[in-house]
Amino acid sequence: MEPFVQTKERYLTIKEWQQAHPHLIVGFSTRRGGQSNEPYNSLNLGFHVGDDLENVRQNRRLLANDIQFPMTRWIGSEQVHGSTIKKVTQIEAGFGSEDLDTAIASTDGMYTFEKNLLLTSLYADCVPLYFFAPSHGAIGLAHAGWRGTVQNIGSAMIKRWTVEEGIPLNDIHVAIGPCISQLAYEVDQKVIKEVEKCWPNDLAHLPYMKQSNEKYLLDLREVNKELMRKEGIKQGQIFVSAVCTADDERMFSHRAEAGRTGRLMSFIGFRLEGDE
């Protein structure tokens, strides 16, 4: 069953997490219901793609209203396809919400234990990773393109939580959000060599299929899932979306739209109890 369910025009939510924890705000935006013009039509949430900045701000305000989480409490980062993870607090509230200049520099993963903060991350094919340890009040996001994936950003988040924060593996839940599917993601041998370096040796299957043109179809979802399972996260603790950003008309896709497109947003945060 698909874990990401569309409840409103502008976003999908992880229904099971949301229902079990009413004050948790978690989701993945669509491209619908905004005011940006082509090729960013219409709910582009990225400042860095060439869209009019005021349109992006207005799109973010529309989403903020939908989820009832003010942009002054959002936190965004400058994503560089790396594996740097930062623990954030109230000090960073509002960073990157109104422009890219104030975003946390060179960071592809964030987590917090504090309520009334919304972690955000941007996508147009890369893999969104969500982390949740409800009994500890911990939430996190990581942006995993192929570079972040082979740098093991998902496992890095899990290690931060278990080693530095003392969260047991059994308490960590992970969701892999909408991203480009294997059938839509053709890569060259350079990428495959990097994948082979990190792929668990004990697995009989490979996460790619070789094509006749010396290219490969790579399943980034599978790579991220198995790397986190290698870290000790059990199958039952991982949700995996089947939504393909390249094929689903609700999504932006860098690959399908030849690099000229908007950005989708993953988000997660705890609203203060009593706020509805």
For residues 104-128, average pLDDT: 98
Phi, psi (rounded to 5 degrees) for 228: -75, -30
| End-to-end CA gap in the chain | 28
* Distance separating alpha carbons of residues 13 and 6, to the nearest angstrom: 6
Which of 90, 57, 54 is CA-nearest to residue 75? 90
Confidence (pLDDT) at 212: 86
pTM: 0.97
Per-domain residue ranges of the chain:
4-180+221-270
pLDDT at 276 over 70: no
Q: What is the pLDDT of residue 47?
A: 98
Whole-number average pLDDT of the chain:
97
Residue 6 has pLDDT above 60, yes or no: yes
The one-letter amino acid code at 13 reads T
The domain 4-180+221-270: what is its CATH number? 3.60.140.10
Q: What is the pLDDT of residues 44-89, one digit of tens each?
A: 999 999 999 999 999 999 999 999 999 999 999 999 999 999 999 9
- DSSP conformational letter for 192: H
Query: Pick from 130, 128, 220, 135: which is nearest to 171 by CA?
Result: 135
Per-residue pLDDT reduced to its tens digit, 213-271: 889 999 999 999 999 999 999 999 999 999 999 999 999 999 999 999 999 999 999 99
Read off the pLDDT of each residue in 2-16 and give the average, rounded to a whole number: 97
Strand-pair category, 109-112 with 85-87: parallel
Phi/psi at 112 (nearest 5 deg)? -155, 160
